[in-house]
Each structure stands twice: as C-alpha cells, then as structure tokens.
Amino acid sequence: MQSVRGKGRKLGPVVEGNAASGKEGSTSKISDLYTCRICFEEIKDASQLIAPCLCKGTHKYVHAKCLRRWQDTVQRRVQWKDKQDDRAYRCGVCRELYSAPPRLLQGRLNIAGSLKALALTSLVVLLALGLSGGPPWPQLAIVVLLIAGARGPSILCVAAIAMACILATLHAKGLRVVMRVDTAGRLGLAVIRHGAPVEGLQSGVLLAASDGLERSIFRRSVVLVYEHGNRSGARGVILSQPLGPTDPRFNPAATPGGLPALSHFLGGPVGMPGEGPLQEVAVIHTLAEVPGSRPLLQQNTTQDSAAELFEGGSLADVAAAASAASPQQPQHGRWGSARALRPAQQSGHPSVHVYHGICAWAEGQLEGELRSGSWGLTKAEVDDVLEVPPEQLWGRLMNQPNRLRWLRN
C-alpha cells in the first residue's frame, strides 16, 4: 500500500486570540476554549491540538492521536482488499490532504490472524492426538512451529511450516501423499501406507487378507501378485471371488463371442467393471505360446499333472491359442464353480482365467500394508490357482499358520 504525501504544511501550536486590528484597545472577543473535532474534548492549551487541513471553526483542531486512530480504523476496513481509503488521506470537508498522512499498518488483517491461530490450534490438536508417534523429531518440529508461528508475521510462512509438519507426521506414521488416477480417470491426491522393502515380496506370491480388511472388497480374499518392482509398485488379482454369468459386475464386452470356455473372476477394485471408463482385464493361463505372456508359476515337475502358469498376452491371442489347444468340442460356461475350476488340461482343455479389475499399489504401498499386518505373505503354488476351489482358498491358507508369514511393526 503506497502512502499519499501531504502538502507539507508546517504544524504549530494554535495561537490564541483573533487577528489584531492594529488599533489599541480592540474590543474583539477572544475564545479561550478549543475543541477536538473527533473526541469533542474542550481544552484551553491550544498546543495540544493540531490543524491538519484548511478547515475553520469547530472543524479546525484535532488531537494528533485521535486523527491517527481514525486513520488506522479507516485503513483496516479496506486492507483485505489491498486498497486505500481516501478518507484516511484527505479531509472530507475541505478536501485538502492531511498534513499528517496515515502510517502504514504493521499488523495483519484480523482474518489473517484468525487463520494463523487456526493453523497453530490444528498443530496442537495434532500433537495431542498422538499422531506423531515413533521418532521424537516430529514433536520437536511441532514445538518449533508453535514458537515460529507465534512470532512470524507471515501467514504464508506459517502455512508452509504447518504443511511440512503435517507431512513429517504422516511420514512418521508410515504414510505418504501421492498423486493417483481414480477409477473415473480423475487425477487426485491420496494418502497411502508406505513401508521399507519386504524380503520375499515378488511376483508369484500370495497375499491373504487379515481380519482388519473385513469391511472392504478384500474381505477373506487371496491375492496373487503377478508384477512387482521397487519403482513401479505392485499389481495382482483376487483369486477368491469368482463371477457368475448373471453377476452385474461382469463385463460382457471383455469376452467377445466365439471364445472357448473361460473362468471369470473379480480381480480387484482398480478398473472394476461399472466403476468408470478405465477397465482393467488381466489374464492368467497355461498357454506358453501366447505372444507377450511371461512365466508366473511352475508346478513341481515330479508330479504327473505338472503345469506352468503364465500371465499376460492379449485376450484375442489367448483365445486363439486356447482354441487351437482344445478338443473339437470346447467347453462352455465355466463360471468359477468348484467343479469347473479343476485343471482343465486333464480333459484336454487349457486353463484360462480372466480377471475383471486388478489390485494396484504404488511404490512402497504394499510393503507398508504388509508391515502393518493387513496381509499375510506366502509363496504361491500352481494348485492354489488351478486346484483349490476359490471359495475355500482363504480358509485353507488360514488353517496353515506355518505357511503364512505376518509382519507387524
């Protein structure tokens, strides 16, 4: 805000009396009381008043402190608009600039102070709730922030330090703020659990949901991880949620007509049918010749029913390879029943599982969930995918406590 300079009239004490007529013994009456035009106080000592403009009579004099207080009040009313009020610089009667221009306010608007107080209160609540458990440095950061916020004049500085403190608190709790694309294709921020690398976590492992996931889509679920990288995160599919032909979550467009019998599953919440324009479909099969597929699991070769599982390849290529490897009378309509999910190669048919939707984790997110005890970890076997009925897979793993490995920090 720029100040407007006055005309620089010299201020001096008010001289008592009226203009002398030059004649001795003048009978003009001289007033001995002077009134402040703001507080209306009447005083005899004219040196306590100033004449800031060209007004005469009762509007001529004012206390310097009264004028200053009135100018400050006028300025504060428009400070949040980053504007100037002409009344603080110019007399509203004679329209002359005040010889005492207003001072620049050093404080902030009340709303700024309120926001600062709110930020500091939030930090106190954050500390009181104990969200920064673990290492002591987040608590120290909050204390430093409280001291800096009480003295710092900038609300932006306080907001920046508050944001840094909140992020530090989340970090101490193993949480991270990341940018993700939701099922509707919108980019946004999400808070995920983050953890250090976990030994044995790689493609080809099973994740068994803990009781803490009872109220989610992963209730009593078993997830097969088919992709994992330190930079790219992890991907997997739910093995224990088969889809029937009348299930509303089934996407007919993902399985064009004329294909051999396929087994359909709800693979996960990302790209799930009916949840947005982005549809994710994963295919796991026993066809080694499909272009773009990669080995996932290999069964013990000493068994007669040795089989190898592959992941990937386009659905059209998988269908073509399955048709070529199937007898002349293909099966129709395997929809996840226990009988239908027996190894199809025993009757001459390859196994093809189509998963509608997938499970996806950002970098370090799955590690954080494992370390929080949300999942149990074990190496997958081909029989877990081909032999065990999906409805029984979770219970079977839970009944083998020596097989599952749980991590709880």
Are the C-beta atoms of 158 and 149 separated by less than 8 Å? yes
- What is the torsional sign of CA 354, 355, 361, 367? negative
- Alpha helix (H) residue ranges in 275-402: 315-325, 365-371, 382-386, 390-398
φ, ψ of residue 291 to 5 degrees: the values are -65, 135
The per-residue pLDDT for 268 is 93
Q: Which of 36, 97, 98 is nearest to 63 (CA)?
A: 36
Considering the domain architecture, whether residues 301 and 393 belong to the same structural domain is answered as: yes
Contacts of 231-236 with C-beta under 8 Å, sequence gap 24+, read: 231/363, 232/363, 233/360, 233/361, 233/362, 233/363, 233/364, 233/365, 233/366, 234/201, 234/360, 234/361, 234/365, 234/366, 235/282, 235/358, 235/359, 235/360, 235/361, 236/207, 236/268, 236/358, 236/359
pTM value is: 0.58
Query: For the chain, how big is the Rg over CA atoms in Å?
Result: 40
Q: Are residues 146 and 238 in the same domain?
A: no
What pLDDT does residue 13 have?
46
DSSP strand pairing (263-266 vs 187-193):
unpaired
Q: Is 51 left (phi over 0), alpha (psi -120 to 50) or beta?
A: beta
Cβ-proximal residues to 38 (8 Å cutoff; 6+ apart), any chain: 62, 63, 66, 67, 70
Out of 85, 106, 127, pick the residue that ends a domain.
Answer: 106
Q: HSE of 346 in the Cβ direction (CA atoms, 13 Å)?
A: 9
Determine how many CB atoms are found less than 10 A away from the CB of residue 208. 26
Residue 62 in contact with residue 52, Cβ under 8 Å?
yes
Question: 100 with 116, same domain?
Answer: no
Contact 391, 243 (CB under 8 A): no
Residues 69, 169 share a domain: no
3-state secondary structure of 189: strand
Distance CA 303, CA 213 (A): 36
Same domain, 206 and 330: yes
Closest CA to 1 of 90, 72, 83, 112: 83
Q: Would residue 318 count as lying in a domain?
A: yes
Number of domains into which the chain is organized: 3
**78 and 167 together in one domain:** no
Q: What's the per-residue H, E or C state across 218-229?
A: CCCCEEEEEEEE
Q: Token pair 């076997």 is at which residue?
A: 381
Query: What's 283's domain CATH number?
Result: 3.40.1740.10
Mean pLDDT for each consecutive 10-residue tract of the chain (409 residues)?
Answer: 42 43 41 85 88 89 91 78 77 90 66 63 59 52 60 58 71 73 67 84 95 90 94 92 77 57 88 77 92 85 66 89 71 44 54 92 90 93 92 94 84
The verdict on residue 399 lying in a domain is yes
Residues 6 or more apart from 149 whose CB is under 8 A from it? 116, 119, 120, 123, 158, 161, 162
DSSP 246-282: T-TT--GGGS-TTPPP-EEEE--SBT-TTSSS---EE
Q: Of the candidates 106, 121, 149, which is a domain's last residue?
A: 106
Domain assignment present for 340: yes
The verdict on residue 23 lying in a domain is no
3-class secondary-structure state, position 308 = strand
For 338-369, b/e burial (b = at least 16 CB within 10 A) is: eeebebbeeeebbbbbbbbbbbbbbbbbbbbb
Specify the pLDDT at position 195. 81
pLDDT, position 194 = 78
Residues 266 and 318 in one domain: yes
11 and 114 assigned to the same domain? no
Q: Are residues 124 and 272 in the same domain?
A: no
What CA–CA distance (Å, rounded) separates 371 from 403?
Answer: 17
Partners of 250 in the beta sheet?
Answer: none
Q: Are residues 135 and 118 in the same domain?
A: yes
In a domain, 20, yes or no: no
**Closest CA relative to residue 340, chosen from 348, 351, 355:** 351
Same domain? 228 vs 207: yes
Instruction: Give the C-alpha separation, 270 to 136, whole Å.
Output: 37
CB atoms within 10 A of CB 62: 23
Is 182 inside a domain boundary? no
Question: What gap in Å lies between CA 90 and CA 226, rounded to an integer?
Answer: 77
Confirm whether 24 is domain-assigned: no
Assess whether 80 and 134 both reside in one domain.
no
Last residue of a domain, one of 91, 106, 121: 106
What's the farthest any 2 CA atoms get from each other in the chain? 140
Which domain, by its residues, includes 147? 110-173
Asked if residue 121 belongs to a domain, the reply is yes
Cα of 16 vs its chain's centroid, Å: 71
